[in-house]
Amino acid sequence: MFHDDRTLRTVAERLGTALNNATPEQLMQLQDGVRRQFLHEGITFTVIGKEEVTEQIIPIDCVPRVLTASEWDHIDQGLRQRLRAINLFLKDIYHEGWSLRDGIVPYELVLGCPQYRMEMLGTKVPHDIYVSVCGTDIVRTRDGFAVLEDNLRVPSGVSYMLACRAAIKQAMPRLYRAHNVREVLPYPGQLYSQLASLVTWTQSPRIAVLTPGRYNSAYYEHAFLAGEMGAELVEGRDLVVHDGLVYMRTVTGLKKVDVIYRRVDDDFLDPVTFRNDSLLGVPGLFHAYRVGNVVIANAPGTGVADDKALYAYVPDLIRYFLSEEPILSNVETYLCRTTEGLTYTLENLDKLVVKEVGGSGGYGMLVGPHASAKEKKDFAERLRTDPSNFISQPTLALSRAPCFIDGKVVPRHVDVRPFVLQGRKETWIAPGGLCRVALRQGSLVVNSSQGGGCKDLWVINEEERNS
Amino acid sequence: MMLARAAGDFYWMGRYFERAEHTARLLDYHLAHLVDTPADVLARGWQLLYAALAQPPPISPTETGDAEAFLVPDAFALAAHLIEDTENPDAIIQSWTKARDNAKQLRPWLPVRVWTCLNDGFLWLRDCDFTEYWAQGPNRLPAGVVDRLRHLSGVVEARMSRDNAWRFLELGRFVERLQLQTALLRAWSNPSNKNSQVWAGLLEVCAAYEAYCRTCSMVIQPRQALAFLIANPEVSRSLSFATRSVQVLLSDIDPAGGRYPRRAPHRRALRLAGAIETNLHASAEIADTQEFLGDFAEECRTLHDLIIAEYIDYPLEQGLPS
């Protein structure tokens, strides 16, 4: 919202002036209104504690973050390029494996990745689209926008993006209208279209959202998306495979399902093929997928490409598969699996952020500058014991955005997770994203499970701004 | 097309709401009459109320055989037990919580207004200060629950399509109503229960007092009141009305199931209707009616099992396309 010299950027002038002119009471009212809206609509996530399961609303900040259309278009192009390369890479590793043979990515990194699925070897994936829904975390540093990580398995948070937008529209309708903000609300319709486009055998496919159930922390999102798409919200126990076809149990008998938008991890999809103790999956589902009778999005085995160690190779993959230079850069990453990477990480632990390669949700990481001596010592021990399980990155000077906290407008670190949808012929990116905020002063961790919140992100066409 | 599990969730949601409203109506009436009712009638009222809800009371006069036991604990504690005690699985807050849990799984099928109305009601009940309400008037809280549930019913009426989602919700309500009303009438039809004020209370709770006075008599006759609440098809809380509603809903859900050879739930609903007719013509004594109600309660339980087995939790081979 501000330049380095703390003057308002042109794109944020109107919003900044409105916030400047508002009294703390008015802002408080605005914030309360937005929070009440979340509570009223039951926009919650589930927290499973030791003794009880509680329901919480995600903390939401009422001050939108703004980006210009040209900034967004740069991100948009970068994400399209990245997803194309990732889909080609996934096809490659489950078929010919040229990128491995040519030494672009080390064999052991792919074959040793827990998310690599041998079962997918040689499997024909509809239209070679392994990743239909992608949520990529992007940060802004002094050098511009950079990708922090790709979420390719079951990226979540899109419902909060849509809920934030709906709440902000209600809370500040005039200001919103005055800014000619690009619209994110077509997301569910686009998701439906892109998923439906993957089916070739019928014009009107039956789509189901497969959820682990209501105790899953993202259950609200699963139900929301199913409702908004007009799809069925199913659990594993609602589906059955018979003669290689997938059916769901309805009050009038079993009905065939054509597309499964799964929000269940690979491990739990099918107890016959993957973990045999899974109660969430559907026995025989993978067989139905292999013989081409159902589309599963995202395809099993895509998690190998969102491994944090493999992330370091994505720019090389873009060059290899597309013969293009990456539009969005990566954050500098040191692989602890290499001797140099491990040595550097151990020597600079107090300056680095160290992450588990398969971790998520802000768990299993160490933020060096904020860690105690004991935490650093313990982490160094873990690094030495199992170096290949970790990567490290420099502590970034993440951009900050104004947030209304405890009656004052204060700066907090933010990132953004845009959502990319890949259909048979088209790629669609919601012009906005889940803007996550580290609500604690000085914190760089934006995950909701670690005290993070969210805010709306406005992509504004400067030249088209309403006068 | 309706997912079987979702149909089950709607069905149970309907049941939980009916249960919450039933308890709230009973409490509303009972607590509203705390002031001018003799202590022994009040104690008897608590006994009937717990018997009608088929709930074990927090004190156990049935075990000790001591009817006076209900005079010892105050009404506040008993009302709190039935409304907000999270240890009591049948307390109103628990029914509402379970209904909301079901509704959470039904978000794709529920109109937003229905969900928000239901959610707001839940948040209100969860966060309300029972003591404060009690200070304003003992029946204020159950009366508030009844009002909110009726408001919710209105939103459901106005917002939901008359599709299978709505039908299963209604089916749940009426099956629950059949069971609750049967238990209520059974509790009241004890031959020793001859106090006309208590019978008037029953008619009031069933929203049938004015209709009874208009149709039958201003003087409440226990046998006549009982017959009225069993067989009058125009009283929304009569067994006859609920049975007829179940029949209509089942036919709408599964038109083929209502034709010969009828499916099991349809046959059972028909049997219930027949049993009411037979009882009506038998002009039975109250003791006989109590026996009839015992059998009727058993039939209602079977009807519930048959609905689940036929439409919600059926064997896979039964559902495969031919």
What is the per-residue pLDDT across A319-349, written as a single tens digit (0 to 9) for each?
999 999 999 999 999 999 889 999 999 999 9
Mean pLDDT to the nearest integer, A407-420: 91
The contacts of residue B38 (CB under 8 Å, 6+ apart) are none
What residues of chain A lie within 8 A of the CB of B1, using their CB? 250, 252, 255
Q: Which residue has the tokens 């792919």?
A: A110
Whether B105 and chain A come into contact, CB under 8 Å, resolves to yes
Confidence (pLDDT) at A467? 44
Q: Is B131 exposed, middle or buried (0-12, 13-18, 19+ CB in 10 A)?
A: exposed
Helix (H, G, I), strand (E, B) or coil at A70: helix
Residue B302 tokens, joined:
């079977």
Residue A43 has pLDDT above 80, yes or no: yes
Mutate to test the interface with A, among B9, B86, B97, B105 (most CBs of A within 10 A): B105
Q: Which has the closest alpha carbon to A152: A126, A127, A131?
A: A131
C-alpha to C-alpha distances, B23 to B20, B56, B58, B285, nearest whole angstrom: 5, 14, 16, 28
Residue A353 has pLDDT above 70, yes or no: yes
Q: For A142, list phi and psi in degrees, rounded to 5.
A: -60, -25
Report pLDDT for B71: 59
Shortest CA gap A41–chain B (Å): 6
pLDDT per residue as tens digits for the range A355-373: 888 776 667 788 888 888 8
Lowest mean pLDDT among A3-17, A385-399, B39-53: A3-17
A112 pLDDT exceeds 80?
A: yes
Q: Look at strands A400-405 and A408-417 and give their pairing.
A: antiparallel
Distance (Å, rounded) from C-alpha B88 to C-alpha A336? 55
Which residue in the block uniquely carries the two structure tokens 């509603």? B245
Alpha-carbon distances, residue A115 vs A103, A277, A303, A330 (angstroms):
20, 18, 5, 21
Euclidean distance between CA atoms A162 and B160, whole angstroms:
24
- Contact criterion met (CB < 8 Å) for A40 and B109: no
Query: pLDDT by residue (tens digit) across B72-100?
Result: 567 888 899 999 988 888 899 999 999 99
Q: Where is mean pLDDT largest: A10-24, A204-218, A313-327?
A: A313-327
Contact A193, A183 (CB under 8 A): no
Mean pLDDT within A42-70: 80
* Contact status of B11 with chain A (Cβ, < 8 Å): no
Q: Is the pLDDT of residue A30 over 70?
A: yes
CB contact under 8 A, B101 and A219: no
- Provide the percentage of residues in chain A whose pLDDT is more than 70: 96
A–B interface: beta-carbon pairs under 8 A: 83
Q: Is A260 or B192 the better-scoring residue by pLDDT?
A: A260
Strand partners, A208: A232, A260
Per-residue confidence at B111, pLDDT binned at 50, 70, 90?
A: very high
CA distances from A119 to A124, A283, A299 (A): 11, 15, 12
> What pLDDT shows up at residue B37?
74
Cα gap A74→A79, rounded to integer Å: 9
User: C-alpha angle with apex B10: B8 to B14, nearest 5 degrees?
Assistant: 115
Give me the residues paired with residue A240 across strands. A247
What does the pLDDT read at residue B197? 80
For A203, A387, B278, the CA distances from B287, given in Å and listed in that order, are: 64, 81, 16
Q: What is the pLDDT, as a whole number, of residue B149?
A: 96
d(CA B299, nearest CA chain A) in Å: 23
Per-residue confidence band for B64, with pLDDT thresholds at 50, 70 and 90: very low
- Predicted confidence at residue A129, as pLDDT, reads 97
Mean pLDDT of B1-5: 90
Rounded CA gap, B228 and B207, in Å?
Answer: 12
Question: Are the CB atoms for A56 and A448 separated by under 8 Å?
Answer: no
Helix, strand, or coil (residue A134): strand
Q: Does the CB of B256 have a partner CB in chain A at under 8 Å?
A: no
Reported as type and span, the H/E element at residue B278 is helix B264-282
Closest by CA position to B93, among listed B142, B135, B40: B142
Peptide bond between residue B279 and the one before it cis (omega within 30 degrees of 0): no
pLDDT digit string, tens, across residues B147-160: 999 999 999 999 99
Listed residue (B102, B85, B89) closest to B11, CA to CA: B102
d(CA A244, CA A240): 10
Helix (H) or strand (E) holding B28: helix B4-32
Spatial contact of B289 and B279, defined as CB atoms under 8 Å apart:
yes
Average pLDDT, chain B: 88
Tokens of B207: 């929203």
Question: Any CB–CB contact under 8 A between B86 and chain A?
Answer: no
pLDDT score of A466 more than 80: no
Distance of alpha carbon B295 from its chain centroid, rounded?
18
Q: Which residue has the higher pLDDT, A284 or B277?
A: A284
Chain B residue nearest residue A237, CA to CA: B5
pTM of the model: 0.87
Average pLDDT value over all residues in chain A: 89
Chain B environment of A41 (Cβ under 8 Å): 112, 115-116, 119
**pLDDT tens sequence across B274-296:** 999 887 666 567 777 888 899 99
Q: How far apart are CA B162 and CA B157, in angstroms?
A: 9
How far apart (Å, rounded) are the C-alpha atoms in residues A144 and A241? Answer: 49
- Is B316's CB within 8 Å of A233's CB? no
In chain A, which residues touch B (CB < 8 A)? 39-42, 214, 219-220, 223-224, 226-227, 231-235, 237-238, 240, 242, 247-256
Mean pLDDT of A374-386: 89
